[in-house]
Amino acid sequence: MKVKMLDLTREYSLYRDEYIEAVNKIFDAGSFILGSPVEEFEKNLAKKLNSKHAVGVANGTDALLISLIAAGINEGDEVITTPFTFFATGEAIVQSKAKPVFVDIDRRTFNIDADKIESAITKKTKAILPVHLYGNPADMKKISTIAEKYGLIVIEDCAQSVGAEFEGKKTGTFGKAGTISFFPTKNLGTAGDGGAIITDDDEINRIARSLRIHGAVKKYIHASIGFNSRLDSIHAALLDIKLKRLEEKNGRRISLAANYNKNLTDKVGKPISQPGGVHIYHQYTITANDRDSLIKHLSDNMIETVVYYPLPLHKQEALKPFIDEARLPVSEEIALKVLSLPIYPELKEEEQNFVIKTINSFYD
């Protein structure tokens, strides 16, 4: 039996007629960039996530960069974040002209260790950028307390956590802004690239809406140097359909994760949810001391897996000119052990059980 890491064709086949109808309406209207489909999706996304505003942009990386700039991050500032994340988190900080300062992770949740943040704060620190990795919320209570104590901005990277919660609040609603990716593999993904910024801050909303259209304040009148970063109507229409099923799809991920937790051997490390949080399992990520051998065993049995992420950001060559050298032992250790298993709403029961059986047989 072949088990794919993700099979997007299954989801699209379920709702194909609905998607085609939505796309046809856009072709009939002849309006493809921003416009009413984007406005409608922004309104519905903000409502779903209990946020005042949602601003559609071209991708999750732009959402990060525009949020940083809109929040006033600039040259000479330092932004504290995690090294154990996708490259875009650190990249956006550098593109905003600020300096990334990496704080090691909690080995239980793989998110930034909030207890280590204060020791990294300097006179130049302007913001904290936590990532809710794999759909597991960071400890936003501690992070928010530290930010308030030192007068720091909080911008949340929610690329993998749309719909996740911490102590009853949606991720992305704790700080100045939350950023979202709609890359096709995400738990809320479109048929291409897309992103969004959610915020309760009217000024962040105003600046972000201007920056996404070349810094325009009205047509052909520009107040700042911005970006060409607009969410198009087709993606917005598809996302609006998917948004209605977000809780259902996240619920299915949670059920699949529970099955893994119950039936996988205890010889692998299973994911630990942040206390007080609702983990929506964008990824189900185990740890294994003999990871590479396990990967080969699974591959030999036609089971796909992925390592998210093999090299922490402080070890990435591209970022070295912009950061201080650091040894972050937990991130470095975890990067050698993590392995993400197939988990998506359309994964079949027999496929998941085959994954479990194959992993358990490796350790028998």
Contact 37, 237 (CB under 8 A): yes
Name the active-site residue from 99, 126, 170, 186.
Answer: 186
Q: Which helix (H) or strand (E) holds 286?
A: strand 284-287
Pairing, β 169-170 against β 177-181: unpaired
Pairing, β 125-129 against β 153-157: parallel
Give the C-alpha separation, 160 to 140, whole Å: 16
Phi/psi of residue 7, nearest 5 degrees: -125, 95
Task: Reply yes or no on whether 337 is catalytic.
Answer: no
Residue carrying structure tokens 């099923």: 245
Residues 6+ apart with CB under 8 A from 82: 89, 102, 103, 105, 111, 112, 130, 131, 133, 313, 331
Give the C-alpha separation, 179 to 195, whole Å: 7
Q: H-type helices in 167-284, by residue range?
A: 202-211, 233-243, 246-263
Q: Which of 287, 327, 332, 289 is nearest to 307 (CA)?
A: 287
Phi/psi of residue 183, nearest 5 degrees: -50, 145
Residues with catalytic function: 186
